[in-house]
Amino acid sequence: MLKFFLNKRFVFIVTIFSFCNSFAQSFENTNIFSPINRLKFGNYLYAEKDYLRALEEFREYLKAENNDTVRFKFADCFLRIGRYEEAAENFKSMFFNSSLEEEAKLQFFRANFLMSLNSSSDFYSFRELTEKEIYFSDKYSQHLKRLKFISHLFDNSILPDTNEFFSAFDDSNYTMIKKFYLMKKYPHYKSQTTAGLLSAFLPGLGKIYTGEITDGITAFAATGILAFLAVNNFNHHHNFRGWLFTGISVLTYAGNIYGSIASAQIYNAKIKFNFRNEIKLYFEQRDFLLPQINFLEK
Amino acid sequence: MKKYFFFFLLLSFPVNAQNLLEQLNYANKLYKSEKYYDAITEYKRLIFFDTSKTFSYICNFNIGKCYKAGGKLDDAIKYFSLAEVSSNNSAEKYRAKIEIVKTNLLRGTPERALQILNDIENSTEFSQNLDSLNYWRGWTFIFSDDWEKAKFYFNKFQPYHELAIISQNIIKEKYSVTFAKVISYILPGAGQIYTGHIFSGLISFGYNLLFGYLTAKSFSEDRIFDGVVIGSLLWLRFYRGNIQNAEKFVVEKNISISNRVLNYLQNEYRGDKP
C-alpha cells in the first residue's frame, strides 16, 4: 500500500490535480468578470451608493449563483434609484422559500408606499395591499400598520380613530404625530364664501381675511377713490366722466370680490402644500419610522 | 517531471497585471466610442481590482472626463479631484487641476476656477507650467462676461492671440447700458433706437410727446387734477418705461452677442477650450 503511495505515477497525478485545482481557483480570482468578482465589485458599488451599476453586477452574479442576500440587494438597488415597481416585483419574488422573507415583505411595502407617495396622490392601492393576508409580515406587523397610518396623512382618505392612530407611534414622535393628525383633521382653511361676502360688504376685507393685508387696503382705496370720482363728477354735471368712473369702479368692485375668493383658494392650496411638504420632510428624515435592515449596511 | 512542475507553476500564477491592462484598454475603447456610462463602470471596476493603485490616476481622470462629457459636472469635478490626489507627478497633478478649472467654467462657477488658477500660480510645485495659466484665466473671464480682462489675459498669454482679437471685437460690438439710459433721459425712445429697436423707440417717443403735451395743456388750462393724473399715471409711467426698456434691450442684446460668440467658440474654435 505504502509502495503505491510512493509510486512516481501517483505523485504525478496528485500534483497535476492540485495544480489544476489551484489554477481554476486562481483563474476565478484573476478573471475580474467571474461571478465572485462581479459580486465583490457589486458590493463595492453598492457601498459607494452607485446603485444603478451595482444592480447590473448583481444581475450578472445571479445568472450564475442564487443567493438570497444578493437577490435582496438587487431589489434594494431598484428601490434606492426610485424604480419602485421593479423593486416591489423583485421583493415579491422573495416571499417564499427565502431566508429574508420578512425583510422582503417590509421592503415590498416600503416600495409600494414610496410609489404612491411619488407618483399619485392616493394610497388606496397601498392600503389594500396591507390588508392582504399573503403579504402579512409577523416580524414587521407593527411597522407596517404604522406605515399604513402615515399614508392617511398624505391623501384625502378618512383618518382612523385617534386612539388606534396614536397607539401605533412611540412616545418620542407622539407630539409631532398629534400635531399632524390635528392639522390634517382640522386644517386652517379660509372659507371662499366668507371671503367673497366680506369683500362685497366692504371692498378689500375679504383679502384682509385671507392675510393679504396690503392688497386689501389697496382694493379698498382704489374702489373708494373711483366711487368718489364718479359721484364727484356727477355732482359737477360731468356726466361722461361720471359714467366712466362708475363703470371702472363697478369693475374694480367685482374684481375685488373675485380676487378675494381666488385669494382664499390660493391660501387653502398653500396650507395643503405646506402641510404635505412638512410631513414629507418629517417622515423622510426618519425613514418613515421603518427599521433599518442591518446586513445591507455591511 | 521538473518541466511539468514549472509549467503548472507558471499557469497557476495570477495574471493580474495583464488582466488589468486589458481592462484598461477595454475601458479606453468604450470611452473612445463615447459609451461613457459603460466606460465609467469599467474604469471603476479597474480601480476596484487594481489593489496596487497603478491605474488609479488614469482611471479617475478618465471617469472625470466621462462625467464631463455626460454633463454631470459635479461628479466630474469629484473624479478629477481624486485623480489629482492619486497623481504620480506634478505634470499629472497640473493636468487634473486644469480639468477642474475647465469643468468649473462649464458648471458656471468661474470664481472657483479663478481661485484654483491663483492657487496653482502661488504654488511652487507647478513653476514650470505657468504659461497656460493666463490662457485659462482668459477663458475664466469669458465665462464671467468680462471681455476686457479676457482680452488682457489672452494677450498676456500670446500677443494678438485669436481669442484676444475675438474679445476685442466683442468689446466693440457690445452696447453700453449707461449711454442707452442717458440718451433715453434726454430724448425718450433714443435708447431703444440705439439698440436697434426702432419701432419701439418711435412708439415710446410718441407716447411721451402725447402725454407730455396733454399734461402741459391741462396745467395751462388750470385743470390741475387732470394734469396731475395724466402726468403721474401716464406721462411719468411711459417716461420711466422708456428708460427701463432701453436698459432691458441693451442687456438682452449683450447677452445675445455673448451667446453668439460662445456658440462660435464651442463649435468652430479649434484651440484648447473648456
* Cβ–Cβ below 8 Å for A26 and B5: no
Q: Which residues of B touch A32 (CB under 8 A)?
A: 19-20, 23, 45, 49
A40 touches chain B (CB under 8 A): yes
Q: For cell 425718450, what's the residue?
A: B188
pLDDT of residue A171: 87
Q: What average pLDDT does the structure give for chain B?
A: 91
- Choose among B1, B14, B48: nearest Cβ to A41: B48
Total number of residues shown for chain B: 274
pLDDT confidence of residue A135: 83
The residue among A177, A186, A142, A187 whose CA lies nearest residue A282 is A177
| Structural element, H or E, at residue A9 | helix A8-30
Residues 44-103 of A with CB under 8 A from B: 44-45, 50, 53, 56
Positions of E strands within B141-209: none
Asked whether the beta carbons of residue B8 and residue A15 sit closer than 8 angstroms, the reply is yes
Residue A16 confidence (pLDDT) above 60 = no
Give residue A4's pLDDT. Answer: 57
Distance from C-alpha of A225 to C-alpha of B71, rounded to nearest angstrom = 57
Is the Cβ pair A53, B44 closer than 8 Å? yes
User: What are the tens digits of pLDDT across the range A111-160?
Assistant: 999 999 988 668 898 998 888 877 888 899 999 999 999 999 998 889 99
Give phi and psi for B158, each to the nearest 5.
-160, 115
Task: Give which of A249, A238, A221, A251 is closest to B225, Cα–Cα.
Answer: A238
The ipTM (two decimal places) reads: 0.73
Of A26, A44, A50, the CB nearest to B12: A26
Strand, coil or helix: A191: coil
Q: Which of A19, A44, A45 sits opposite B12 (nearest CB)?
A: A19
What are the backbone angles phi and psi of residue B71, rounded to the nearest 5°? 80, 10
Which pLDDT score is estimated for B7? Answer: 47
Distance CA B138, CA B105 (A): 11
Do residue A15 and residue B4 have CB atoms under 8 angstroms apart? Answer: yes
pTM here is 0.76
In this prediction, residue A268 has a pLDDT band, given cuts at 50, 70 and 90, of very high
Q: What is the pLDDT of residue A298?
A: 56
Contact between chains at B44 and A15 (C-beta distance less than 8 A)? no
Return the SS3 of B50. Answer: coil
- In the A/B pair of chains, how many CB contacts fall below 8 A? 44
- Please judge whether A44 and B48 are an interchain contact, meaning their C-beta atoms are less than 8 angstroms apart: yes
Closest CA to A35 of A71, A61, A55: A61
**Cβ contact B45–A32 (<8 Å):** yes
Q: What is the pLDDT along chain B (274 residues), one digit of tens a residue?
A: 555 544 444 444 444 678 889 999 999 999 999 999 999 999 999 999 999 999 999 999 999 999 999 999 999 999 999 999 999 998 899 999 999 999 999 999 999 999 999 999 888 887 766 778 999 999 999 999 999 999 999 999 999 999 999 999 999 999 999 999 999 999 999 999 999 999 999 999 999 999 999 999 999 998 898 899 899 989 999 999 999 999 999 999 999 999 999 999 999 999 899 9
Chain B contact for A7 (CB, 8 A cutoff): no
Q: What is the distance in angstroms between the Cα of B18 and the nearest Cα belonging to chain A?
A: 10
Q: Which residues of B touch A16 (CB under 8 A)?
A: 4, 8
Whole-number Å distance between alpha carbons of A39 and A57: 6
pLDDT in tens, B171-181: 999 999 999 99
Interhelix angle A68-80/A35-47, nearest 10 degrees = 40
CB-based contact, A16 to chain B, within 8 Å: yes
Helix ranges, A96-170 (H): 101-119, 124-131, 141-154, 162-167
| B18: nearest Cα among B49, B39, B48, B44 | B49
Amino acid at B164: A
Average pLDDT over residues A235-257: 94
**Mean pLDDT across A33-59:** 95
pLDDT of residue B12: 46
Q: Which amino acid, one-letter code, is at A183?
A: M
